[in-house]
Structure 1
Amino acid sequence: MQLIPVTHQAAVAGERAVEAFAGVVGCIGDAGFAQGALAQLNRWLPVSWWSVFRLHDDAPPDMPASGSYRAPDHTAESWHEYRTSLYRSDQTFLAAREQVQDQRQVLVHWHAHEIPRQHRERIYTRHGLRERLSIVCRARDEGLLAVNLYRHEELPRFSDEEIDLVGSAAGLLLSCVQRHLSLCGGAPTADTVLAGLTRRERDVCERMLKGWTYDGIAADLGVSPGTVKTYRDRAFDRLGIHHRNELFALASGRRA
């Protein structure tokens, strides 16, 4: 693991870099920001996946944006694995948390083989990810904001020169992401929150979000109220929550 303080912000240089970041800026505020911005970044630097994490001090994390480029997009599936359980034992951002101050940014570079086994197998090995390079800063409210850049095995490792390039552009990329989140709220939609659930678990949660009673959900789905509560409990376990109000908070982008 490398922890690299970003001590200076060089101007983005080179025609490809200027065009790429102009493209990223042009994606700000669009519904397709995650995919579009990643495609623009790939004009400058090859990246298979990217994701934006908000790592809160006193609540589960959320992922307001993610996407893939010329690779199968399993970012939502991987997020489900992470959000359901892995985040509780994740130490890969610990060093960054200890180092970042108000406006300071750091790069955190992890090779897959350095990631603890369970985390590595359920995300990195399963999806052929070679490494992750994260730009981390303090979030504007609390906790951390991390922009994660991933490479698959088909791509070469990030070189020292490429890591330096990312460091030189870290502030600009973070500003683009923060501006997009401020315009769009950065809140995950209910569809995103429920994406990792089974069909029945999702059916139950969708109706709970509409204010239905357990008896009403049971009648609509043709099952017993006890079965509805079983699906609810399974869904809550996957989502890492315990109460109905936490489900509403997740779906609305608030933190319970």
Structure 2
Amino acid sequence: MMTVMIQDRPAVAHSPETLLAQLVDCMGNERFGPAFANYLHSLCGADHFAAFRLGRDELREVAACCVQPERTARDRVESYVNQGLWKHDPAMTEAQRRVDGATATIIHVDFSDHEYDDLRPRVYPHVRDRILLCGRGASGAFGLSVLRADPHTPFAHEGIEKLAQAAELLLAMLSKHADVCQSRPNVAQALTTLDEIESCIVATSALPRREAEVCARILYGLSSVGIALDLSVSEETVKTYRKRAYQRLVIGSERELLTWYLARWGRWSAERFQTAASKALH
């Protein structure tokens, strides 16, 4: 006999279970940040979060958001990463040291520590309390900074306990989100510098050096004349190298060259960072 059970109780819009379901559905897209912020708020009362992938002398943002997304302090997150302020963060230093442990670690930051005298006004001017969760996901090491803002009270003991209990789940979700995002090339990052483009082409193809240099400069946006000037060759020589490179790659246009490059850059970038992370942690 078949038994049919009907759920006649309406779902609560902001229940932890509903928020978790929404979070899973948002992995890999731009809605992940707000969904993760809402889930953390329901879990422990957090107002903001910033999540990072940890590597050797490198920190990469995975996601960052406020419960009210429009209030997300993007400038502070970017300064923390791009200006290397994280290297002066005692909690992040401790996280880097502990991240290779068998279990996740919870670090409760003490802002009264004199080591934060310089960092707090620059990165945490309106933060009342901060917890840093660190550990390993399936694809590497991650750090999750969870913040409680003024004028709210510090995190309650119960909230910290819930965060600790959910630590492995949170790290797994961050790892999965990062993997999905990494598998899709970020065009802006992929084409940021000529050195980046050229290094990727040289590392992932069998093109002769000059042909790789010409393709890199095409992707960077230089004209044939500009490439000729940059490489100190004639414009006809540039056209010859381009023709040979296209024949080797079995492509016929700049659009096809861009598609070919982005497919390789995504894998190359992920492997490069993962290698650096593995060296740092072993």
Please report the TM-score for the alignment, with normalisation by the length of structure 1: 0.62
Change (3 A) 1:122 1:99: same
- Structure 1, residues 134-190: CA drift from partner, whole Å, max 9, x if none? 210035555x31112111112221011111110011111111111222222278946
How far residue 21 of structure 1 moved from its aligned partner, in angstroms, is 2.2
Asked if the contact 1:47–1:150 (Cα under 8 Å) also holds between the matched residues in 2, the reply is yes
Instruction: Look up the match of 1:137.
Output: 135
What are the equivalent positions in structure 2 for 1:16-165 lying under 5 Å apart? 16-57=15-56, 59-70=57-68, 73-83=71-81, 84-114=83-113, 116-125=116-125, 128-138=126-136, 140=138, 144-165=141-162
Asked if the contact 1:131–1:157 (Cα under 8 Å) also holds between the matched residues in 2, the reply is yes
Change (3 A) 1:100 1:86: closer
**Mapped partners of 1:71, 1:31: distance in 2:** 11
Asked if the contact 1:50–1:150 (Cα under 8 Å) also holds between the matched residues in 2, the reply is yes
Q: 2:220 aligns with which of 206, 211, 224?
A: 211
Three-state SS of the structure 1 residue aligned to 2:123 is helix
**Mapped partners of 1:105, 1:209: distance in 2:** 46
- One-letter amino acid of the structure 2 residue matched with residue 131 of structure 1: D
**Mapped partners of 2:218, 2:62: distance in 1:** 20
**Mapped partners of 2:146, 2:160: distance in 1:** 11
Change (3 A) 1:179 1:71: closer
Q: 1:168 aligns with which of 165, 182, 187?
A: 165
How far residue 108 of structure 1 moved from its aligned partner, in angstroms, is 1.0
Asked if the contact 1:108–1:134 (Cα under 8 Å) also holds between the matched residues in 2, the reply is yes
Asked if the contact 1:49–1:75 (Cα under 8 Å) also holds between the matched residues in 2, the reply is no
**Mapped partners of 1:157, 1:131: distance in 2:** 5
- One-letter amino acid of the structure 1 residue matched with residue 65 of structure 2: G
For the pair shown, the structure with the greater C-alpha radius of gyration is 2
Higher fraction of helix: 2
Change (3 A) 1:80 1:28: closer
Three-state SS of the structure 2 residue aligned to 1:113 is coil
Please report the TM-score for the alignment, with normalisation by the length of structure 2: 0.57
- One-letter amino acid of the structure 1 residue matched with residue 116 of structure 2: P
- Structure 1, residues 16-42: CA drift from partner, whole Å, max 9, x if none? 333332332222233321112222433
Instruction: Look up the match of 2:251.
Output: none
Three-state SS of the structure 1 residue aligned to 2:170 is helix
Percent sequence identity is 20
Greater shift, 131-140 or 179-188, is seen at 179-188
Change (3 A) 1:18 1:74: closer
**Greater relative contact order structure (CA < 8 Å, 6+ sep):** 1
Query: How many aligned residue pairs are there?
Result: 199
